Amino acid sequence: MQFLTFSLLATLAAASPIMRRQPATNTSVWPVSNFEVGCSPAACEYSFIVTRAAGPSNPGFNTTCTGNDLDKDFQACDDKSVTARLVPHLYPEWEINVKHSFEGNNKAAVHSFANGTTEADKPAFTVTVYKTD
């Protein structure tokens, strides 16, 4: 009788699915690569690639952003749901602001804002989400 009970429990345990918990994807840190900036007396122009992992409440993206610091507003990147701007600081430091706009789960517009600083000779860094509305 004990063997039968043990066999039954062992069979049920082997047949039950094992749920492995996946680590949560960090969608609040966006890697930036290939950062380049060049300046003339008129303006500074920038180019970089920025990526965001897809998460449970946001789509992901991988896009190239180019623009200049003459326009103080956000400028569209290749993926039109992403905009960016360059904020000059004391050379060689630069601030990058990136905004990701998308339709949220409840069909309302969502805007995630991220920023980070880097130096002109550092092509890779991250920007971090500081506000979502």
The string of pLDDT tens digits covering residues 63-105 is 999 999 998 899 999 999 999 999 888 878 889 999 999 998 7
Reported as a single tens digit per residue, the pLDDT across 6-22 is: 454 455 455 555 555 55
Q: Which residues have a Cβ under 8 Å from the Cβ of 27 and sit 6 or more positions away?
A: 52, 53, 54, 55, 58, 60, 129
What residues does each domain of the chain span? 27-132
Q: What is the identity of the amino acid at 51? A: T
pTM of the shown model: 0.78
Written as six digits, the tokens of 7 are: 């066999």
Span 99-121, average pLDDT: 87
